[in-house]
Amino acid sequence: MKKKILIRIGSLRHGGAEKVLVTFLKKLPKDKYEVDLLLNLYSGKYLTEVPDWVNVMFLNRGEMITTNRPKDIPKKIYRVVYQQLLKKYPKILYKRKLKNKQYDIEFAAIHGFMDEVINSPLKSSKKLMWIHNDLTQVSGYTPEKIRRFFNYDKVLVISEKIQDTFLSLAKTDEEKSKIVRIYNPLDTDEILTKSQAEIPSIVNQQQSTKNNVSLNGVGNHQQSTINNPPLFISVGTVFPQKGFDRLLRAHKRLLDEGFPHKVLIIGDGYDFENVKKLKTELGVDESATMLGFTDNPYPYFKAADFYILSSRYEGFPTVLFEAITLKKNIIATDVSGVSEMLEDGKLGLITENSEDGIYNGMKLALTNPENFHTYQDNLQNYEMPFNLENSVNSMMQIIDKL
């Protein structure tokens, strides 16, 4: 008999948690599970990748509203009120939307759905939580609030740092046993295959015309020249968490000091227009490009000289494993998961978690690129500490035992 699973997440926009959830679903055997995926908002580039046997439901339809234009405000208010109503009175949701279906497991795919799942009227279902962020760095998550996650039957965490946080807050052996560290499912074969695709020429032309930033001819050059300056790439949802504002300010400082280079930011999010405005205010439109979202960023990874993680906080930034898979020179701020992923600095440069740290890391790359040769040697011989099959199987074992 198939296990019935309800999974909750906000949308399938282009974040790391959304991507790993879809990767996980694609590898689940459909003959073993019956999965309902409930989205707050039927939106996102990963919708098309959800297996057709997964039943996708939603509370609201349409793209996320990131502006406060007068014409958008009524719809925005309606969505918020509707979602808060169902959160406060979950029995309405379970009766009307879910048709009183009895689930074996209710699974919160991100920490933001802690209350929605734990307050489910289904008392017999097992509750599963998936934590992707270092909650000690997330506003509002006091030790007391983090301890509420112990109300779940199992809590999946994606890094050693997050695991240590929970174990330090656990008061009993039973609570400790609820915490399980599992690496995020990552399809390395898919990354390598997609990286072989050509960068669309139309994108090159548009970006070159718009921002005078062309990706043509960008290769693994080591010398900083005016005609062919090194390219730093950063990929992620454009939220303040990702620190793209810090990256642009460091970029500006280095340009002012006479170090030619280019920056490419790939991703979209509610802070996109703010960061884009900052780029213009800093006067770096000719050297920095915000490409927006692309469903295949890997050719751009491949074209770049350096991958830079400028985040203020993370849980276990999967994007670094993507950069490692493609053997890129890496510069990363010292946030949760980075030391673990880069093996304490063997696979890439770990910098102070600040604008100065980002600036110093980029400056080292521009002035002494030979310092990255050791990282490259280590990357060539590196084997991932997990594979996609093992990660999915580990998660299935937990689900099966609940």
pLDDT of 280-316, one tens digit each? 999 999 999 999 988 899 999 999 999 999 999 988 8
Do 86 and 59 form a contact (C-beta atoms < 8 A)? yes
Place of tokens 């879910």: 98
Do 159 and 133 form a contact (C-beta atoms < 8 A)? no
Query: Which residues make Cβ contacts (< 8 Å) with residue 30, sequence separation at least 6?
Result: 51, 53
- Counts for the chain of helices (H) and strands (E), in that order: 17, 13
Question: pTM (2 decimals)?
Answer: 0.76
In angstroms, the CA 93 to CA 78 distance is 16
Task: Please compute Rg for the chain using Cα positions.
Answer: 22
What digits encode the pLDDT tens for the residues 314-362?
888 889 999 999 999 999 999 988 998 999 999 999 999 999 999 999 9
Got the DSSP string for 103-118? PSEEEESSGGGHHHHH
pLDDT at 224: 39
User: What does the DSSP 8-state code read for residue 223?
Assistant: S
**What is the identity of the amino acid at 110?**
I
Give all domains of the chain, ordered by start, each with its CATH number. 3-186+386-401 (3.40.50.2000), 188-380 (3.40.50.2000)
What digits encode the pLDDT tens for the residues 112-165?
999 999 999 999 999 999 999 889 988 899 999 999 999 999 999 988 889 999
Do 331 and 307 form a contact (C-beta atoms < 8 A)? yes
User: What does the DSSP 8-state code read for residue 135?
Assistant: G
Predicted confidence (pLDDT) at residue 180 exceeds the cutoff of 90: yes
What digits encode the pLDDT tens for the residues 17-74?
898 999 999 999 999 999 999 999 998 888 999 999 999 999 988 776 666 677 777 8
Of 95, 91, 102, 101, the C-alpha closest to 126 is: 102
Tokens of 66: 């990131």
